[in-house]
Structures are given as C-alpha cells and as structure tokens.
Structure 1
Amino acid sequence: MTQTTPVIALTLGDPGGIGPELVAKLLAEGEATQDCHTVLIGDRWLWQEGQRVAGVSLELPEVTSFREARDHAGPVFLEMDTVSRDQTAYAEANAAGGASVLAVLERCIEANKAGEVDGICFAPLNKYAMKLGGLGHEDELHWFVEKFGVTTFFSEFNTLGTLWTSRISSHIPLKEAHTYVTEDRIISAATLIYDTLKKAGFDAPRVGVAGFNPHGGEGGTCGREEVDIIAPAVEKCVAQGYPIVGPYPADTIFLKARDGDLDAVVTMFHDQGQIAIKMLGFDRGVTILGGLPVPVGSPAHGTAFDIAGQGKANLTPTRNASNLVKAMCQH
C-alpha cells in the first residue's frame, strides 16, 4: 500500500512497564507525529496513567476506527478496553498485561490487512507476560509471522540508525546455534537486510557477514563453518547481485562497523550481535521485525520494571523507533 502520508499505529506496550510513560513523552514532544498520521491505540486509563507519570497532559481527538486518522492533522486516540487497572501493577509481568498487548497488536495487524495502517510502532513489551497471556511462540516476531502468513525468511534487526544487525537464528539455546549455520539461512539473512536497508533509505548498503568460530575458524583449524558454509554463501550472494562481504571474525567485524566501513552485520547467533550493538548504543537502539509485509518497530530495550512509574525512562530509543518506522513507510 503506497500512501503519501503514512498511518502509523502506536501502542502503549506492557501495562506494568515504562511504555505508557514513553508514549506520553513521545506525543508531547511532537517530532514523531510530523509527516504521518499517528493513531495511539490502547486502554484509556493506561494512556492517562502514562501522561501522569510523564508529567504531561494531552488532549487527543478520539476516533472509532483507523480510517478516521486521515481526517486529522495530528495524532488521534483509538480506545480499546483490554485490561483493567486492578488487573495489573508496575514491575509485574502477568497474564492480563500480556493478553492486553496481544489484543492491541492483533487489532493493528487487522487494520494493516484492511489497508488502514501502513506501519506499527509498539512500546516495550514483556515476552514472559505475553506467554502467560496466551503467546504460544518463542517471541513476538514468530507471532507476527504467523499472523501475516509469512512463508519466506524473517529476522529481527537491531539498529543504531547508521548500523544494523541481523542474525540467522534468534531465541534458541546456544548449543543448537551450529545447526542453523546453513548456506540458505545465511543467504536469506544477508539479502533480506540488504533489501530492508534500501527501503530504509540507504542507497548502496554495505553488508558484512560474521564468522561462527573463534578467530573466524583460523583457516579451518578451529572449525570449518567459515570455509565450508559461510564463505560459499557470501559468494552466492555476490553472484545474485548483492555486494555482500565476509566472513570476518566475529571479534573484529564490529570494529569495521564502528569505524563506518559497514552499514550492517549478519551474525551467526543472538548474542554475537546483541552484545556488540548494545555496547555501542543501548540508549538509542531500535528493533525492526524484518521480513514482514509492513514496517514494525520498537525500542530495543525492554519494559524496565525497575524504573516503571518513576518518570525516568529515556525517550531516545522510542523516538528513533517511531521515526524509523515512518521513514520505512515513506520509502
């Protein structure tokens, strides 16, 4: 769906975390709602509580459907009744809060399928609470994939704006990581993040692939994945017209990325990239759910139960997430 001015669905996240506060700060600031139609969707009491914690007061026009958003220049509020105040509490992961998150996100998905929403930005959620509330998947990405009927490769991306990471596997035990190191998964991960970077506004993305073994396998003497699987996968990417490079040892590839030689790194397992990117910029990171038919993003941090309700939450990652989802919709 191509729209001159995209409609972005914005959610409040887990009721027990910092999401409502962040959303209130975001909308009060105003930057994220420029050049788009923002629809805040969620429980009224939770939106009011977010404003209280953030120390702001906003009067948003109320709508009864996403379709009405285009009739308003600024953000609007779409009420959903998903959880009561006495069913949840700050710093608490429970079934009611998790079910609330799932209900709101499902409404956003339905709106996208109906052509009413171009992108989704959700405030921090809690996977444990969502599983208590009915999530039967390992994480929200796999849930989104099922809801959208995606049958091609998908991956969670983490980005600091100028640096992105992808991975060929996600939330799995480390002892299983080697079973995911296949040519098909590496090719799919590398080409997907390349194509996504193009959609995010990069003219000529520079994507590098990390090795799997210590020191990149040391020429096959410390593991042969680099020689037998990863390097051939990179060569096949190049043959398909994708200027992918690597493999580079995992303990040095992020030095290249930090110094500006790469725009994205494809890693071989979850923490290989997560540790690096969170060290480089945890206070500004964004998560993008790659491979979906619609831009979906969120701040890369979690619900921060330790500071929930205290007005201390850092807005930067949420602002960055909102702006990136908007940019991807515009491209």
Structure 2
Amino acid sequence: MKPILGITMGDAAGIGPELILKAFAVHGLDRCCRPLVIGSLATLEFYRDRLGIPASFRSVGSAGAARYEPSTLDVLDLGIVDVPRLKIGVVDSNPGKAAVVYTQEAGRMALRGDIDAIVSAPLNKEAMRAAGYTFEGQTQILGELAASKRYGMILLLGNLRVMMLTTHCALQEACRAVTKERVLGMLTLSDESLRTFGIRSPRIAVAGLNPHAGEGGLFGREEVEGSVPAIEAARTAGIDAVGPIPADVVFLKARDGEYDLVLAMYHDQANMAGKLLGFGEVVTVIAGIPFIRTSVGHGTAFDIAGRGVADEKNFVFAIEKAAELASLKKG
C-alpha cells in the first residue's frame, strides 16, 4: 500500500500553497503516495482561485478519516491563517505562527504513526520569529518535538549527500562548533542515517573548514584539534570516515561516487556545493528523528509568491523521496 504523506503547507504568504497545488494537479503524485495536506483549507482555495489551478479538496478531521481519492486532495484544516488579511509576499506573524503549528501537528501525527512521512513546504524564519518563536528552522522544531538528543540536516542531490555540522548560525559560531565531540557525533549520525537509506557500508568524507583543510594547523587549528581526532575516533568505532579534505575538491569527489556523504562544516559550504551542482533539485532530509521528513532546498520565495510562476520541480522531488524512504522503511 502507498505510504501516507503529511504535507505541511508552510508560510501562506509564500509559494508553499502553490507548490502543493501544482504538485498534485499537474504531476498526479497520488501515484506514489496517499497525500494529506496539513494546513489551511481557505488558503488553498484562495490560491486555487487566484492562480487558476484546477483542484478540489475535502476537509477531514484526521488521517484516518481521509479517503485518498485521486480526484480530491484531503486537507487536515487547522485554520489559523487570516485569509482576508493575507498579504502575499510579506513577512507577517500570522502565517508565521500557522506554519509552525502545521509543522508541530505533522510531527505529532508522525510520532503516533498516523502518517508515514512528512513533506514540508518552506516556512519563513523572519515571520516565525515575528510570531514569537526562536527556532532556527523546521529541523529544530521537529528535533525538539521528537526529543532527539542529536539530529541534523542532510542535503540530497543525485549521488551527492551532504550533512551539515552546523546550520543557521553566524559563521564565527560555526567555527567554534568544530570540536571533536560535535564532529564525532555528526559522523555517527551520518553513518546511522546512510544505513537507513540502504547503504550497508557508508563512506564518509569530512570537509575542511579552513583553506587547504588548515594545512596541518598553518591556517587554523580547527581541523587539528577538532576534525582529525573525531575522524580517528570514528574509525576506531568502525565508521569509514576520512579527511579533512579541502572543500574545493571533496564535493566533486562525492558527486563522482568516491564517498557516500560529505560532512560539511557550515550552512553555506553545504548549500553552495549542492545548488551549484543542481539548483532546484536539492531535497533535504532530517536525520536523527524517529520519522521521515523531507523538504525543498529553497525558501518561501516571497518575491514571486502569488504570481503562478513558482517551479514545483523541487517539491515534487521531495514528495517522491519521502515516498521512497517511507516504502523502504516499511519494507
């Protein structure tokens, strides 16, 4: 039986609702999953009418009440969004709050086993902060909800997989985070995650932080004092980890199949590699939580929201990957 995917609507002022409408009206993704949108029915109807995308909806009170019929998209209508006052493409606390609530409800449903995986449309961090939340993003929302001690984000692009040592923080904070304990923890998490992907003997490369991976301490001590001891400890524990390898070559080696995953040191190091090799095709997966969650590799795109020009391809990839991983998990 096809997996049930809980699809969170994201920030209503962004392109999330449009991505959902296009993914199912144009691509017929009910072929790979049973979709349940978690969000605002009134918002979806608003964008359907505004953009002229043919779609019909059914409001349901739970995943168990959904019918999952090809002609109708089931919606767990949590409301919250003040649609008459919605300002498309503008940071606002109302849709910011709604996006967080949708994500949290999806997480609770996944923990209960009501859904097999989550696919997240993007939320806006500024709007989320305006609503009073201090989360770095959806990774932290779901990681804390699941009470996971260690979690992280993996970027997927074809053969390229990238785990981030740090995510949304200042670069100076990312540099301070390159410690033996943190690097070893993320290497362990990476190894565990790759095995859930069906990779029996994962090969993991650690990217350097400094130019030329520090040149033995000439250009910074982070590698010598943090990455190298962590790699040695990981290898002692049976993890096939190598590095640190200069960031200007390690991602190409991974793309060509030499490694199964690269542990990047900071957010932009990981994202620049992925987006240069295939912008619009990157899918993110949260590692370290007890359920599957995928999302897109881009944000809310307020600059084009409500115009009908958003490219849903990345969102389609995220849905397909979630369905694939959920089916793999169910055996």
TM-score by length of 1: 0.91
What is the CA RMSD across the aligned residues, in angstroms?
Answer: 2.0
Structure 1 unaligned regions, length at least 5: none
Deviation at 1:171, TM superposition (A): 1.6
Change (3 A) 1:6 1:170: same
Deviation at 1:168, TM superposition (A): 1.6
Number of the residue aligned with 2:143:
145
Number of the residue aligned with 2:105:
107
Q: How many residues of Structure 1 are paired with residues of Structure 2 in the alignment?
A: 326
Number of the residue aligned with 2:94:
96
Structure 2 unaligned regions, length at least 5: none
SS of residue paired to 2:284: strand
Aligned 1:1-331 pairs, distance under 5 A = 5-69=2-66, 71-72=67-68, 74=70, 75-151=73-149, 153-331=150-328
Change (3 A) 1:73 1:48: closer
Give yes or no for contact 2:35–2:68 (8 Å, CA) kept in 1. no
Deviation at 1:54, TM superposition (A): 4.8
Q: What is the percentage of aligned positions where both structures have the same residue?
A: 34
SS of residue paired to 2:274: helix
Deviation at 1:63, TM superposition (A): 2.3
Deviation at 1:61, TM superposition (A): 4.0
SS of residue paired to 1:305: coil
Deviation at 1:39, TM superposition (A): 0.5
Moved more, 225-234 or 121-130: 225-234
Query: What whole-Å deviation, never above 9, does each CA across 1:166-196 have from its counterpart, x for those lacking one?
Result: 1222222112222211112112212222322
SS of residue paired to 1:313: coil
Give yes or no for contact 2:2–2:32 (8 Å, CA) kept in 1. yes
Query: What whole-Å deviation, never above 9, does each CA across 1:43-93 have from its counterpart, x for those lacking one?
Result: 122111332355321224442211223x53545222222112123211111
Give yes or no for contact 1:200–1:327 (8 Å, CA) kept in 2. no
Deviation at 1:294, TM superposition (A): 1.1
CA distance in 1: counterparts of 2:204 and 2:52, whole angstroms? 42
Residue identity in the other structure for 2:207: A
Query: What whole-Å deviation, never above 9, does each CA across 1:263-299 have from its counterpart, x for those lacking one?
Result: 3210112222122212111211112222111111211
Deviation at 1:5, TM superposition (A): 3.6
Change (3 A) 1:135 1:240: same
CA distance in 2: counterparts of 1:298 and 1:198, whole angstroms? 20
Residue identity in the other structure for 2:286: L
Change (3 A) 1:129 1:257: same
SS of residue paired to 2:154: strand
Structure 1 runs of 4+ aligned residues shifted over 4 Å read: none
CA distance in 2: counterparts of 1:191 and 1:85, whole angstroms? 45
Query: What whole-Å deviation, never above 9, does each CA across 1:95-150 have from its counterpart, x for those lacking one?
Result: 00101112222221222232212211111110111111231223232222222211
TM-score by length of 2: 0.91
Residue identity in the other structure for 1:149: A
Moved more, 224-233 or 263-272: 224-233
